[in-house]
Amino acid sequence: MILPDGYSDIPAGKIAAVVTHLEMTARPPCRDDPPGAWTLRQADAPALDWYRDLHRRVGEEWLWFSRMRMNDTELAAIIHAPEIEVYALVADGREEGLLELDFREAGQCELVYFGVAAGLIGTGAARFLMNRALELAWSRDLRRVWLHTCTFDHPSAVAFYQRSGFRPFRRQIEVADDPRLDGTAPRTVARHVPIIES
């Protein structure tokens, strides 16, 4: 379906975001790590409560909600799949960043989730995490690494991904039930996306 030019109404109780898909089709030049004492830890068959907690702390403000709506069986089927890799960025002994790589499609890697907790934004931790993400992805025989972000995300997200070597190739509109209205997320998060109930 092609949306008409101009404004399109979004029903009350819904949220809408512009989603930008970005990709790289060749390994980019290595970039130096910023100064910092971060490490990366792989979580093999991550515990669901652990995953949900880290996912919430990193993504709640940016309305990451799809995984939070999954039941245990649905979530485990994804994050315990052999072609899915989950990593935590560790800062001062605490897990403060999430990286999830999906190798289920031959020759490709999707950066499904990527982000750091609020206290690490602007510190260089995201650059460190992206450097590790690209090393891990391109250590395999790939033709493409890709991801998507949206207008609910940090305002610098698209520019960050482009500086990392990704180029935009597709744009979509995503409409969903507002997760703050069904208890998936607190009403107090994502103030940059107003709640419209009626």
Over residues 112-133, the pLDDT tens digits come to 999 999 999 999 999 999 999 9
Enumerate the domain spans of the chain: 14-26+44-177
In whole angstroms, what is the distance from residue 150 CA to residue 170 CA? 12
Mean pLDDT of 137-157: 96
Question: How much is the CA Rg of the chain, to the nearest whole Å?
Answer: 17
Q: Beta strands 14-24 and 167-177: pairing type?
A: antiparallel
Cross-strand partners of 8: none
Task: Please provide the DSSP assignment of 75-135 as one string.
Answer: HHHHHTSTTEEEEEEEETTEEEEEEEEE--STTEEEEEEEEE-GGGTTTTHHHHHHHHHHH
Cross-strand partners of 197: none
Other CB atoms within a 10 A radius of the CB of residue 79 amount to 21
Residue-averaged pLDDT of the chain: 95
Instruction: Give the DSSP letter of residue 67.
Output: G
The architecture that CATH gives domain 14-26+44-177 is: 3-Layer(aba) Sandwich (3.40)
Q: Can you give the pTM of this predicted structure?
A: 0.94
Cross-strand partners of 16: 175
Q: Which residue has the tokens 């069986």?
A: 73
pLDDT digits (tens, 9 = 90+) for 11-50: 999 999 999 999 999 999 989 998 989 999 999 999 999 9
